[in-house]
Structure 1
């Protein structure tokens, strides 16, 4: 059982992991904690934003929309590799997913294929949105992929997790394809190497 890190601890963990971090507005106190439990945490979900333009992407992830209020993640990883912190507690990012996937994440094992939506991922996962159109053509710059790797490794190291605790949204929830344009298996290999 891993209690979620405080906003201040997340910030320190990411900076200690070699990341360039920008604090957005009152992100420390910006959360959806009044809509359900936050924690214990077991992993990290990586997303793409289906947007372009760093400024508007960060603003959307902080504010959300009428249909889905913000924050939409804990941090936004823009194309230059900067992590913009937008949420400090429970956030609207993972949605409902498969409890078998959650059990594999907790056990630090390879993920099964999801086949149901019976578990609230917003309670159990940190979420990081990555600026990308999500069309399979928009490039993933080296700096951005390295930042995803560093975020995953930093949070795994802080909690004593392995690389299997970092998953793509598509591995959690039916009908999702994010992050599209790079391999989560290869990203986990990179995180594993960094953890060594």
Structure 2
């Protein structure tokens, strides 16, 4: 069963990956848009979208930011993002690459905002993932994260402790109920300290 879930949602590929992508596009859309709102992205900022899946949140962030970078371990999902954001990719305001939280492929202190929706539970090493995002953020940059609360491997408060252990400050956590039958979302916002 874990292999099926990985092919559909963890590292989507093949028919199961396409099905997983369609389910993500439908089930995560409102949460993706909500996270973009919470992040308060400005037109001068560079945004890193971790695990953009089929690209709903990537597109929402790109409509506000100067540059948006989508990083996903799945080539299937990156292809979906390319399709959804083709004009922005061609225009150079959206970049797509393979990677993950631990290795986002970004130089240190190069992004203003990092967004993550429903993928923290898939990270093999959360401490290394938070450290990777911390390095990628500029001083004063912010992390906004959301995940289905029932699928988190630890409580949202424990997750917040892990974020703080990576060096983030000014941390807030709350729950949000997406519309429809979508499970309750645990959400978090934190900052890399300004120098």
**TM-score normalized with structure 2 length:** 0.32
As a proportion of its length, which structure holds more strand?
Answer: 2
As a proportion of its length, which structure holds more helix?
Answer: 2
**Bigger RCO (CA 8 Å, 6+ sep):** 1
